[in-house]
Chain A
Amino acid sequence: MTDFTLWDIVRNLLLAGRWTVVLSLIAFAGGALVGLVLTLARMGGLKPIRWLIRLYVDLFQGTPLLMQLFLAYFGAAVLGFDVSAWTAASVALTLFTSAFLCDIWRGCVEAVPSGQWQASRVLGLNYLQSMRHVILPQALRLAVPPTVGFSVQVIKGTALASVIGFVELTKAGTMLNNAAFAPFTIFALVALGYFILCYPLSRYARHLEKKLYGAGIR
């Protein structure tokens, strides 16, 4: 068996870690975009639309991300689409992220006190004007900490993409371990990799939360 130096392991993990970062960014950007459209449609839309979106959110929140990845990868193949692990992982994580963000953001809009709606209504602002000038700016400030906090879940969620053969941090760790057989070292390093990505975000979310409540917006 070839000898792996620690540097070999670290180097390979770092190389694979890039794809964890890229997949996280795709999932988060895509999820935010879809989530935003869903949030707006859910708040202003007709009853059947609102009902459909709620079903969508419940579906993705109520099933394991692992199953969603399996369905995106193998399900697409059954339907005759030849999707790469990249595509399947991106699509599944985007949909997963959008469902959670849609729910987080709806909560933020609803958390703006009803007195704000009433005040803008009696000042003569219509629904869209109230939304734009009064409700959304406040909802946005409320939304930043939980959104940043949720991005941590997205990063950790990308680990599951390893099961459909997507080579990111976790998959690279498994592959390295098959060759070098140093499970403790390797998986400790993998875990450290996720921690280095997630910890600053958690800290930042907490900092934002403190700042928000310190500003006395609520």
Chain B
Amino acid sequence: MALVSVKDLHKSFGELEVLKGIDLEVEAGEVVSIIGRSGSGKSTLLRCLNQLERHDWGTIVLADQRLDGAAMSPGELSQNVGMVFQSFNLFPHKTVVENVMLAPLVVKQTPRGEARRIAESVLAKVGMSEKVDAYPAQLSGGQQQRVAIARALAMNPKVLLCDEVTSALDPELVGEVLRVLEELAREGMTLILVTHEMKFARDVSDRVVFMHQGRIHESGDPQTLFTQPRTPELSQFIASVL
């Protein structure tokens, strides 16, 4: 049984149908990269997975539990699905460690000492132990994004969604964030990434999914997919990004 199982997912914004029936299964520990042109629906798919967007039709099952509709409260959902955004979205009025502690304290009602311990351990994992008392504005983009990853990990989610997490970064800062994700992948974290980093998608993913016009157009293991695309759309896409 797959950890995440998406069946016949549809989503429209007004007249515009963005997702036209998505079927996707992700096993525990699998790293899946979603690639495709902007407007192909990849970010919307990700945002449906944690219900930032309500889909119109279809089901999303996570570890045998429906998570769509009213089946799961935001509190429960956050302990199953973590998310990291392109624009970091750290809380600017809170220090690094407070950012990471907030959800465990407020949502899980973790005692303060315990929450602090969790925060320090996830911050160590992303290499940000030195900066626990800094404010986000004092950090570089790469550091902010690593804190954002730690903040998501503090809720101990079963799957981590990454929405173009390196797109807002200066080129020299991309590596430090990708290394953290690579490390997470190696530890067996289930990752679903929307990414423009083709090298990362090829080297780290177990599977790459190419989305085109609201559908999964092609998917497979990264080596085959990148070297022997079956459809002209994917060939064109690969040619345009490499």
Chain A contacts to B: CB under 8 angstroms:
113, 115-116, 118-126, 129, 133-134, 137-138, 141, 215-218
Q: Which of B77, B85, B90, B93 contacts A124 (CB 8 A)?
A: B77
Residues of B in contact with A, size category: 20 to 34
Interface centre among B106, B151, B155 (most CB of A within 10 A): B106
A125-B107, A133-B102 known; A138+B92 contact, CB < 8 A: yes
Could you jot down 15 A-B contacts, CB within 8 Å? A115-B85, A118-B52, A122-B50, A122-B77, A122-B78, A122-B81, A122-B82, A123-B155, A124-B78, A124-B155, A125-B74, A126-B73, A129-B107, A133-B91, A134-B102
State whether B89 touches A118 (Cβ < 8 A): yes
Q: Which of A119, A125, A129, A141 contacts B89 (CB 8 A)?
A: A119
CB distance from A116 to the nearest CB of B (A): 6
Closest to A115 in B: B89
State whether B106 touches A129 (Cβ < 8 A): yes
Interface centre among B76, B82, B103 (most CB of A within 10 A): B103
B137 within 8 A of partner (CB): yes
Within the assembled complex, what's the spacing in Å between the Cα atoms of A215 and B138?
Answer: 10
Closest to B50 in A: A122
Interface residues in B122-179 by Cβ distance below 8 A to A read 137, 151-152, 155
CB distance from B137 to the nearest CB of A (A): 4
Q: Which residues in B have their C-beta under 8 angstroms from that of A123?
A: 78, 102-103, 107, 151-152, 155
Q: Which residues in B have their C-beta under 8 angstroms from that of A121?
A: 52, 74
State whether A124 touches B75 (Cβ < 8 A): yes
| Inter-chain pairs besides A122-B81, A124-B77, A124-B155, 12 sampled, C-beta below 8 Å | A118-B89, A122-B50, A122-B77, A123-B78, A123-B103, A123-B107, A123-B152, A124-B76, A124-B107, A126-B73, A137-B93, A138-B92
CB distance from B164 to the nearest CB of A (A): 13
* Per-residue interface assignment for chain B, residues 64 to 95, with 1 indicating a CB less than 8 Å from any chain A CB and 0 otherwise: 00000000011111110111010101111100
Within the assembled complex, what's the spacing in Å between the Cα atoms of A50 and B167?
Answer: 38
State whether B93 touches A119 (Cβ < 8 A): no
Q: Which residues in B have their C-beta under 8 angstroms from that of A120?
A: 91, 102
Within the assembled complex, what's the spacing in Å between the Cα atoms of A183 and B137?
Answer: 55
Interface centre among A113, A125, A215 (most CB of B within 10 A): A125
Q: Which of A113, A118, A125, A138 contacts B93 (CB 8 A)?
A: A138
Closest to A124 in B: B78
State whether B93 touches A122 (Cβ < 8 A): no
Q: Which residues in B have their C-beta under 8 angstroms from that of A133?
A: 91, 102, 106
Q: Which of B83, B93, B152 contacts A141 (CB 8 A)?
A: B93
- Pick the 6 closest A-B CB pairs, nearest first: A124-B78, A119-B89, A123-B103, A216-B137, A124-B107, A115-B89
Closest to A122 in B: B83
Interface centre among A119, A123, A129, A218 (most CB of B within 10 A): A123
